[in-house]
Structure 1
Amino acid sequence: MDYLKSVVPSQIVSERGSNLVIINPGSANVRIGLAKQDTPFNVPHCIARRNTQTGKPNVLDQMLNTQVTTNQHVERERAYNTAASLLKIPFLDEGSSFGSSSRKMARIDGYNQPSIITKKDTVFTWTNVYEDDPTSPAASDTSADKAEASETRAATDFKDTGESKRKYREMIFGEEAMKISSKEPYCVHRPIRRGHFNVSPHYSAQQVSEDMVAIWDWVLLEKLNIVHNERNKYSAVLVVPGTFDSREIKEMLTIVLRDLRFNSAVVHQEGLSAIFGNGLSTACIVNMGAQTSTVVCIEDGVSMPNTEKVLPFGGEDICRCLLWIQRHNQNWPQIRTDVLAKPIDMLMLNQLKESYCDIKEGDLETVATVNSYEDGMSAVPHKTNLTSLNVPPMGLFYPNLLVPEVFPQPPRTWFQDHENMLEETWNMDYAGGGGNMGQLVWDSFAVSPFKPKKEEKIGLAEAITSSILSAGRIELQRKLFSSIQLVGGVGLTKGLVSAVEERVLHAIPPTEAIDTVEVLPSRMDPTFISWKGGAILGILDFGREAWINRKEWMQNGIHVGSGRKYRDSYYIQAQAMCFISS
């Protein structure tokens, strides 16, 4: 403790953060970096594998998506009109009052002018899917199985370009994977979808795990320059979303310790990490990611499990709502925009959302450039008038606006919490065929000692209110209502802070003696707060009592009563809090 009082904080970060890797996986992106870094590398959490079969889709999830029903369309239009009345804009089928909004539209254009046509748009190129040198020595750093498989495919790997024969890249990662033309023989895989492992009849649990290993290993090699034979000198902190269950967290520990070869690892929940990322001790953490949102209350650095809420929507749903509104208003150009089949379209919509969406009253319109990405061709810009830009983010409060993709649930057996993670469980069948796909997977989650987390069909304001009111004492409730923290990429939405304060205040029952709601300002980019908190926890955790050693994990796994379960990390933050307060 004397050392901690005398040492300079930057010295602790430098000494203890140079061999500590923080991994924060999400549905859309994975954030990985050394604890000593200010911000991590933020990489799209996807991998494109080369197709050897004809007829396979270019995005694996295309095989699962279902169409929006008529009832969902009706509910969406009703939700739009509810939001429109609050924002004081015309209803969906009343049209837009262009004359009255021209002045406001000009002001918005002027404010956002630098982001309308960017250099990134003008120099867009499709990903080069060929290896520069098929005889590169780097190809030797593969397993025997991969080498044997590559020999059998050698005859089909090469393409005659007229000058030389080039070989297709077997795997492509990150943003490059999202910019592959659909005419190329590749299929994009996303190992995490809607806050869970993306297990399906078309995507086995083993393949999900292998893809995750490949993506993380690529980031460690290409971005952090941590080679395989040096990994035993590093430890890892897994900062996991609150949506994950015990089985998924244990599988991630196996990936980190067995496959990525880290010396030791510990797990922290995103909500807990966010507290330390912003230098707080008590707060209501609202984590809004790309595909899911979670709410949890933290008191004095300790999570309150009974306050957890999981909402099945996020930033990507706002993007698709933006596209739906523009098409309904006939503002979208006559181009083929498909966010499911063409990942590059989701990147474009996300850029439009971040640049122009704002929660404020009145008609909100702007002129922006929309790009058309056709197979193998250069991006074609289309200038168009985008309207009702304040409605899509209101879907956070009226989730019927955000009609999500519908995916079958993972197999029921996948969620069994086996204590011995070395058991062979990859080849489990889908119990009962397709009959169980429509049931809630949580209904059979009887093995886990914790109460399962169910997704709730409520808006963000109701979720925050319900979470805080579950905290118990009125003094604590008042403190939490005045200490709301927005984290995740959606937290950057303009106008969201005041909207949350207003909507939560209206959602509090009149019988409650609470009249103040406040969202605390963030000390850094909300996207990276949880990652930064994981770095702080890892650096200040001197005792490492809840850390799991690679050898111990490989030999023993986790046993009942061993005192080494990952959930011990729920309480380890109390030790770090002591150091911060001293």
Structure 2
Amino acid sequence: MVGKKSGRALLREEGLARTDNNLDLTTWPQVNMINQKNYYTEFLKRDDQFLAYRAPLEEERNRMVREARDKDRALAQGAPAEGAVDQNDDTMMEDAGAGYGSRDDYASKLIIMHVGSQNLRIGFGSDALPKAVPMVIARRWTESESEENDGEPSPKRQKVEGVIPSSAFPEKWFGDEFSDQYQTMCSELRVRMRANKRRVLPNSKELVINYNKRTPPDIINEHNDIDRIEWTDVPKNAPEYYTGHEALRLPDNSKPRYKLFWPIRNGTFNEKDYTNRNQLYHDISKIFEEAFRTQLGITKPKELANYKCVFVIPDLYERTYVTIMLDILIRDLGLGKVCLQQESLSATFGAGYSIACVVDIGAQKTSICCVDEGMCIEESRVNLKMGGWDVTETFIKMMLVDHFPYADINLKRRYDFLLAEELKQRHCSMDEGTVTVQTLDFHLRASGQDTRRYQFKTYDETMLSVMGFFKPTIFDHAWKLEGRRRIVPRSVDLYDGAPNDPVSVAQINIVDANSDRLTQVNGTQETVNSLAGTSTPARSQQVNLLSRINDMEGTPRSSVAGSPAPEGTPNPDRDTPGMGDGELPSLVFRDPVLEKTKLAEERDKVLPVISLDQAILESLTQGARGEDRKLRDFFGGIMLIGGGSKTPGLGAFLETKLREARPFYGKEILVGPPPREFDPQVVIWKGGSVFGRLSSSGNDSWISKGEYDILGSRLLSNKCMFAW
């Protein structure tokens, strides 16, 4: 019997023994097998594995190495050690990333931009006040804006007996609805003034109308007008475009013709006057580029790589608006770094408040938001599409109804637009003491014409036009939704395609109050308020169809009226009416993405129209979240900012309206302007300057050009100091 052979003998006899020279078959690194019983990975579990966090740290490390090398070189060359940069004293250089020598040098390389519907406010961090540039561009065109539509004026007049005479039937020019609302507001104002023991003359309107009818203008020769306007000269080789103040000073009858384009309307992109997204993109880029050159003195585009920019965006922003603006600043203009900041939060930085309810009344947009401890409360954000421009238009309408002597005024003409803005700023007020018959005058200056001096009388038009903030139906809202989503599509989620623009409960409640109807979604009627509880669009959960079907088939029904099924669950009894026993039901499922899309489209068709005091109360209710102490703090910190808030008496009138609506909080309610005698128009810009110069703001919130080239807008989820 042969004994058992060893393993080595078997390998040797069978020819299985290894006979190579222990050289690797390849130079590719071999990965050991994972112990599947106990393995661990750190993939995407540390901050330094994210480019958005790792790049600033590497940049800071390189800066420290560079400064240490420069210090050693200075010591080796015999220079005193005191000549080197002191990192402890110069805290502003921590987030500069360029090794500036002093705080002033860093602030001079910091640009703050606040874009509005009518003006762009821009300046350096070292400036005390910004420069205001009209957010407009004039391009060569076949006809000017005042010549379009056969010269139809603005505000639009309705024809009376087939013609529009210059002095007949002005009270019927704007329709019966406007006339009725105007008369109602006049009657309410008289009742209010009598209740406040103020004198009201019964024939005040007749005095105003009779005086305006029979007062001709005085002609002043141009060489006798000491305040004449310097109009923009158009040379023979006329440029393709003008921007800013030069565009507004172009003659309407210039050769060649120019047309004004306002790329921002009502706080977002102007899709009504543009037909191409690229044209809108390039117009904004050209306005920014000319502002850098004329206002900041940056003549070479390559120099912008050494500058940082704090860009202020709306509280209730649209993602597409933010990404396009960021793309213009970094890729088109070539700025080195950009930081995004919300308007209301920037206003609290500028005013020095830790808790406040910010009411920003701009030219065409009014935004309201509650700010608490350096954060905008998401559910309290409100965005209303009305502002100072609506007051200007309504004021001109009311004056025309009362036989304004300059009956041919047309807000589409550039000099008439500037005249209307001047009249509003000089004469409109919310103080009841100014509601008397007043004799006023103005000078009409047009290119190529002699100056005309008009005298006119006013009574209650100066107050009732601003009263439109509290009775917004007097404003003209017909054109504000024209072209909506026509050239700039809505932002959607990359995973499921659902709309992902931020919304707030306060804004949804206001929109629902205006819609006042049910929305038909996939054959099921739901109220539009069904998503009022979510502030950020949530990703829809996938439905496990197999388990649902098995549960439905295997579990007998215990009652006819069962519990409601979750969203997306098939319900044969509901979805297939008339299906009898023994027949196979056809499964019909609800698409949550389609429902969200239809819901967003329905909301886009509704313009939020609500009085200013009610909008503030809605924002405060959602911002306090049921806490009475916080609600009282917000009531005591209502801050009015923006150009529209400079109307005399507006804050006191708003405070009175809020106390009438909430008498239990009468002592706590306080509406005031910004502190330290700040101009309400520049508080947001000043807050952006303060925020940009903070040493703690440079580590996480700055978006560099290199990072943006790699990740694009995906970087915003890690860089924004608010929920993106």
Using the TM superposition, name which of 254-263 and 14-23 deviates more. 14-23
Change in CA separation of 1:374 and 1:64 when aligned onto 2, cut-off 3 Å = closer
Partner of 1:221 in structure 2?
293
- Given the alignment, which residue of 269, 284, 287 partners 2:357? 284
Partner of 1:417 in structure 2?
491
- Given the alignment, which residue of 205, 213, 236 partners 1:96? 205
Partner of 1:435 in structure 2?
none
**Superposition pairs of residues 429-578 of structure 1, within 5 angstroms:** 449=537, 455-471=607-623, 472=625, 473-508=627-662, 515-522=667-674, 523=676, 524-540=678-694, 541-559=696-714, 564=717, 568-570=720-722
1:13 is displaced (CA, Å) by 5.7
Alignment RMSD = 3.7
In 1, are the aligned partners of 2:360 and 2:368 still within 8 Å (CA)? yes
- Given the alignment, which residue of 366, 373, 391 partners 2:464? 391
Following the alignment from structure 2 to structure 1, what is the Cα–Cα distance between the partners of residues 631 and 112?
A: 32
Structure 2 residue 282 is matched with structure 1 residue 210: yes
1:60 is displaced (CA, Å) by 8.0
Give the AA of the match of 2:708.
W
Q: Deviations over 1:79-125 (max 9, x none)?
A: 444345334589999643759xx9xxxxxxxxxxxxxxxx9983123
1:298 is displaced (CA, Å) by 0.5
1:34 is displaced (CA, Å) by 0.6
- Given the alignment, which residue of 129, 136, 141 partners 2:234? 129
SS at match of 1:557: helix
Q: What percent identity do the matched residue pairs reach?
A: 24
Partner of 1:47 in structure 2?
137
Q: TM-score, normalised by structure 1?
A: 0.75
Following the alignment from structure 2 to structure 1, what is the Cα–Cα distance between the partners of residues 394 and 635?
A: 29
The structure that has the greater radius of gyration is: 2
Partner of 1:302 in structure 2?
375
Using the TM superposition, name which of 120-129 and 280-289 deviates more. 120-129
Partner of 1:342 in structure 2?
413
Give the AA of the match of 1:174.
G
1:64 is displaced (CA, Å) by 12
Change in CA separation of 1:312 and 1:6 when aligned onto 2, cut-off 3 Å = closer
- Given the alignment, which residue of 184, 205, 208 partners 1:78? 184
Unmatched 5+ stretches in structure 1: 103-118, 131-165, 421-438, 573-582
Partner of 1:31 in structure 2?
121
SS at match of 2:488: helix
Following the alignment from structure 1 to structure 2, what is the Cα–Cα distance between the partners of residues 85 and 488?
A: 31
In 2, are the aligned partners of 1:21 and 1:34 still within 8 Å (CA)? yes
In 2, are the aligned partners of 1:419 and 1:557 still within 8 Å (CA)? no
Partner of 2:3 in structure 1?
none
1:276 is displaced (CA, Å) by 0.5
Give the AA of the match of 2:388.
G
Change in CA separation of 1:370 and 1:272 when aligned onto 2, cut-off 3 Å = same
SS at match of 1:123: coil
Q: Which has the higher contact order (CA 8 A, sep 6+)?
A: 1
Following the alignment from structure 1 to structure 2, what is the Cα–Cα distance between the partners of residues 233 and 302?
A: 30
Moved over 6 A (4+): 4-7, 59-66, 89-94, 443-448, 450-454
Following the alignment from structure 1 to structure 2, what is the Cα–Cα distance between the partners of residues 565 and 515?
A: 42
Partner of 1:181 in structure 2?
251
Q: Deviations over 1:51-90 (max 9, x none)?
A: 2x3x563588999989566445534443444345334589
Q: TM-score, normalised by structure 2?
A: 0.61
Partner of 1:271 in structure 2?
344
Following the alignment from structure 1 to structure 2, what is the Cα–Cα distance between the partners of residues 493 and 122?
A: 25
Following the alignment from structure 1 to structure 2, what is the Cα–Cα distance between the partners of residues 6 and 551?
A: 25
Give the AA of the match of 1:245.
E
Following the alignment from structure 1 to structure 2, what is the Cα–Cα distance between the partners of residues 87 and 234?
A: 55
1:348 is displaced (CA, Å) by 1.6
Structure 2 residue 305 is matched with structure 1 residue 232: yes
In 2, are the aligned partners of 1:72 and 1:400 still within 8 Å (CA)? no
In 1, are the aligned partners of 2:135 and 2:262 still within 8 Å (CA)? yes
Partner of 1:192 in structure 2?
264
1:517 is displaced (CA, Å) by 1.0
Q: How many residues align?
A: 487
In 2, are the aligned partners of 1:285 and 1:486 still within 8 Å (CA)? yes
Following the alignment from structure 2 to structure 1, what is the Cα–Cα distance between the partners of residues 276 and 201?
A: 42
Give the AA of the match of 1:391.
L
Structure 2 residue 393 is matched with structure 1 residue 320: yes
In 2, are the aligned partners of 1:419 and 1:558 still within 8 Å (CA)? no
Give the AA of the match of 1:19.
K
Structure 2 residue 237 is matched with structure 1 residue 167: yes
In 2, are the aligned partners of 1:57 and 1:63 still within 8 Å (CA)? no
Partner of 2:66 in structure 1?
none
